[in-house]
Amino acid sequence: MAETPIDFRTAPDRYRHWKLALENGVAYLTMDVNEDAGLRPGYKLKLNSYDLGVDIELADAVQRLRFEHPEIGAVVIRSQRDRIFCSGANINMLGLSTHDHKVNFCKFTNETRLAIEDASQHSDQTYICSINGIAAGGGYELALACEQILLADDGSSAGSLPELPLLAVLPGTGGLTRLVDKRLVRRDHADFFCTTAEGVRGKRARDWRLVDTLIPPSKLAEETKKIAEGVAAKSKRPKDTKGIALPPVERTIDGDTIRYAHVTVEIDREQRVARFRVNGPAAAPPADAAAIHAQGAGFWPLALARQFDDAMMHLRLNETEIGTWVLQSQGDAALVEAYDALLTKEQSHWLVREIVLYWKRTLKRLDVSSRSLIALVEPGSCFAGTLFELVLAADRSYMLDGVFEGSNLPAATVRLTPMNFGPYPMGNGLTRLGTRFLAEPDKIDELKDEIGKPIDAEAADELGLVTFTPDDIDWEDEVRLVLEERAGFSPDGLIGMEANLRFAGPETMETKIFARLSAWQNWIFQRPNATGPEGALKLYGTGKQSKYDRKRA
């Protein structure tokens, strides 16, 4: 029997693992994992360990706090359990999971941690972690995503990354990179920390930068509240403004077709292709930020981002054999441009800022999805500004030169807007145009002269904005060949190639996390030392000693 598809849609009244409370400008996210409510049968989520279901709720809370609660300036992550903060990813769950589920789980968890950091850095909603016991593995990695780490100074509360000594794997959500790149822990101290299963506590943890503040256990709750309220008071978020509700994303799944209001995904299982068709707005944009607020979650850019994001996550976890995503659009490019103009004009408004930041995160999720991305720019397309970022994110793009025989649609065009020149950076810190033209940085200034102009296939080719511009005679064959070619290659090889080619230019903490994660997961997670019959991940908790292949490869 097929497994029930994983659904990423949830809400606070459905949380099984987190409690959310709001007080004096501070949100308290309290971890209280229901050990009997795992996403799949076969394991118990003991000791505040987590699986993907726990992180889906956390990601939802992080998102909701940004949109629904502009008055919140600080978020405290803490535990309901006595002497246990979080013991990390559930080991039995990992042992039972397929390789692709483990990788997708860790990738989503990474994206959630990055969303926490993004909220602290760009939304003035600062995250603080209050540790009342053991924060092990992914539990300490959750703390690392916060801007401040408070630790109970009780002789037993500690942070640890025990994956190597206990499981023969490595921290899966950026722990190693954040230690040395974010918290600036000395390499020798980090080496000791990551090879010591019991972790580090007290004064040593503070002196080594593993935590920021030590607090007597009897005062942990009181001091955490005081610190968080102080941070919240300094936040520039509007304290007297109402947020907007984020209702469930509505979708229908009919066989191999997934329908949302603004996105349709059609799956071709024979070709192993999913075709995304994004619909442009049906009406002109509202007048100003107040009107955007009135439309709330129905405002086209926000509604589209939520739907596109949900579609990506559904395909990532539930359709792992669909290896190519074809990106198409239809609608009025002038209307898309008008919405971009509104986002640019109202960029200082808190809600508009959050919508743009959400698009940034959604596009980043597309960048790191392990799928071949092919964009098709056809008559009737509306790839302008924000939507043109989908074309720039693609591994290849095809734009029809001319029109289709028998069609009354005008020739395809694309448009640049100011949104293509800064608001949506990739993980490498550059715009997609900046990454595309690393060898020709002056090209970016030249392209700014094209803002607002309809650019036809010949001009788009000359400007370097698309890959190929076949005419009507060759279009069908060229598209068919690229899809057949992609379906014929090794998926493993394609994942490695695409991930290497997409992130040219400077390396950042974010690109390090994803690049190194991809490397170790697709190797260490499949090595017998970790996952073989006598590997550490399989034997954990049995009392048996793992047998390692001692060769260094």
Q: Which of 71, 147, 163, 510 is catalytic?
A: 163
Question: Three-state DSSP class for 120?
Answer: helix
In Å, what is the CA distance from 206 to each residue of 92, 214, 400? Answer: 32, 7, 60
CB 417 within 8 A of CB 339: no
3 state SS of 129: strand
Burial category of 492 from C-beta neighbours within 10 Å (exposed 0-12, middle 13-18, buried 19 and up): exposed
User: Which residues contact residue 323 at a Cβ distance below 8 angstroms, ignoring those fewer than 6 apart?
Assistant: 272, 273, 371, 372, 486, 487, 491, 494
| Strand duo 263-268 + 148-152: pairing | unpaired
Q: Where are the alpha helices (DSSP H) in 22-154?
A: 52-68, 91-96, 99-122, 138-144
H helices present in 368-508, as ranges: 388-393, 432-436, 442-448, 457-463, 472-488, 491-502
Task: State in Å, rounded, how far the first CA of the chain is from the last one.
Answer: 40
Task: Mark whether 141 is an active-site residue.
Answer: yes
Name the nearest CA neighbour of 316 among 1, 106, 88.
106
| Nearest CA among 194, 109, 170 for reference residue 523 | 170
The one catalytic residue in 141, 319, 378, 389 is 141
d(CA 412, CA 414): 7
Cβ-proximal residues to 378 (8 Å cutoff; 6+ apart), any chain = 328, 399, 400, 404, 412
Q: Return the SS3 of 40.
A: coil
Cite the active site residues: 141, 163
